[in-house]
Amino acid sequence: MSLADRWPLPGRHDLRDELLAAWDRPGYHDRLHLTEVLDRLDRLAAAGADFDPVTVRLAAWFHDAVYDGADDDEERSAAWAERALPEPYAEEVARLVRMTAHHRPSDEDPAACALSDADLAILAAPPERYDAYVAGVRADFAEVPDADFRAGRAAVLRGLAAKPYVFHTAPARELWEAAARANLERELGELSGR
């Protein structure tokens, strides 16, 4: 099934095509990333995670729709969702997109937990894919000097590693927690020269 065929909102192919064009870029935040997030949402749903599939999938389509490494990428993506989507989706999708700026959803928010987990599940990828992801993130921040990138990346990874769990849903913890912890530890070691 093509990525275009996974669009969850019937009749808005114009918006789907705008989003596909926005995701067509180099770096980690590309169409492969969107595909992987949608795949992981499917896995979470199949494993019993309870969330509204249309709303959360729309949030996946919008969550990095605007991406140029700026501090307000998520806000601009959320604003696009608010402008472009009909109700009842616009407000909720925008809220979910804004959550991806920090990946700290409330445990009582199944939609946000599912989106956060699907987005962060790249942390549990096999080593070759994980290394390609890290290289893609570095490409996204190509203008940042190496020392600054390494310091910033290490801070982000330490923040994730310090959480009691990387993932918020029980299915995601079972599927991905151990592998994500191993990848975080490995990359932090490489960043610190261990």
**pLDDT confidence of residue 99:** 96
**pLDDT confidence of residue 127:** 94
- Residue 29 DSSP one-character state: S
How much is the average pLDDT of 172-191? 96
pLDDT single digits (tens) 8-53: 999 899 999 999 999 999 988 899 999 999 999 999 999 999 999 9
Summary mean pLDDT of the chain: 95
Q: In whole angstroms, what separates CA 87 from the centre of its chain?
A: 23
Q: In whole angstroms, what separates CA 74 from the centre of its chain?
A: 11
CB–CB of 115/99 below 8 Å?
A: yes
Domain boundaries, the chain: 4-191
- CA dihedral defined by 159, 165, 170, 175, rounded to 10 degrees? 80
Phi, psi of 107 (to 5 degrees): -65, -20
pLDDT at 71 over 90: no
Integer CA distances (angstroms), 18 to 26, 76, 118, 151, in order: 17, 15, 23, 35
pTM value? Answer: 0.94
CATH of domain 4-191: 1.10.3210
How many Å apart are CA 78 and CA 99, to the nearest integer? 10
The pLDDT > 70 percentage for the chain reads: 99
pLDDT single digits (tens) 112-143: 999 999 999 999 999 999 999 999 999 988 99
The pLDDT > 90 percentage for the chain reads: 89
**pLDDT confidence of residue 159:** 93
pLDDT single digits (tens) 82-98: 999 999 999 999 999 99
Token pair recorded at residue 11: 């009749």
- Residue 194 banded pLDDT, cuts 50, 70, 90: low
